[in-house]
Amino acid sequence: MIGDLAAFIRANTKVLSPPLLPEIRLHLAEESLAIWSKTEEELGASGLPPPYWAFAWAGGQALGRYTLDSPEIVVGKRVLDLAAGCGLGAITAMRAGAASAICNDIDEFAGAAMLLNAELNGVAFDVQLKDLLSGPPTDANVILVGDVFYEKPLAGRALAWLISCQKGGAEILTGDPQRTYFPKDEFNHIAQYRVPVSRELEDAEIKTTSVWRLKSR
Ligand SMILES: C[S@@+](CC[C@H](N)C(=O)[O-])C[C@H]1O[C@@H](n2cnc3c(N)ncnc32)[C@H](O)[C@@H]1O
């Protein structure tokens, strides 16, 4: 078992900028497969999930780029970065002028990575390590959702919860590179990017990735 989460992250990542966000620095895996198999060996045995937090996923990069280039979506707002992984959504929201941000995930390694990444980028936010999707809607004004529609149960639960949050007044933006379970009909398209990604993780070197807004109902 790995005792010190932050020490593990520092030892197994490099400080790099995601291709679409040269102004942001994150602790990221340089060799995708190496960290994936290392954490599978060391963490898999203890039931912990794979290191999603060690990558800036295509959906998160597109959403982060859009947030920095269209700061009016978050300026002065309370933002939730749902399933934040490395915390890119909350970092870009705070950089763009959000009043506050909460960075959410269920993985304690992601919790440690978000805090290290916040420090690297000179921003601060709260970390909430729990599954919000079965609970009441958040009171955030804006919910940023980077790349979560990759598994059917998660996609279904996320959509239902996001709709409940929208009914409470939240604006919902997601970045998605056409993942299998992305419920496209529920969203309006707002921007598109070509995101360089690792062929070791994805089926391509460039993922065409869009930013979408949940349709109002
Ligand atoms: C593909 S990663 C995306 C991370 C980040 N948003 C990005 O775009 O780089 C998906 C993340 O969802 C998290 N996750 C999975 N189920 C979740 C849940 N029920 N609540 C919160 N986070 C969850 C995983 O731990 C992982 O960090």
Query: How many whole angstroms from 128 Cα to the centroid of ligand 1?
Result: 12
Mean pLDDT of 10-36: 88
Among 13, 148, 173, say which to mutate for ligand 1: greatest number of ligand atoms within 8 Å of CB: 148
Within a domain: 73: yes
Looking at 29-33, 86-90, 93-97, 126-130, which range is the least confident one?
29-33
66 Cβ contact list (under 8 Å, min separation 6): 73, 173, 175, 190, 191, 193, 211
For residue 194, give the DSSP letter: E
Determine the structural domain holding residue 159 and report its residue range.
56-214
Total tally of structural domains belonging to the chain:
1
79 is a domain residue: yes
Question: Closest residue (by CA) to atom 10 of ligand 1?
Answer: 148
What separation in angstroms does the CA of 108 have from each of 84, 97, 125? Answer: 12, 27, 16
Residue 3 domain flag: no
pLDDT band per the 50, 70, 90 thresholds, residue 203: confident
pTM of the entire structure?
Answer: 0.95
Average pLDDT, the chain: 93
Cβ atoms of residues 62 and 124 within 8 Å: no
CATH of the domain at 133: 3.40.50.150
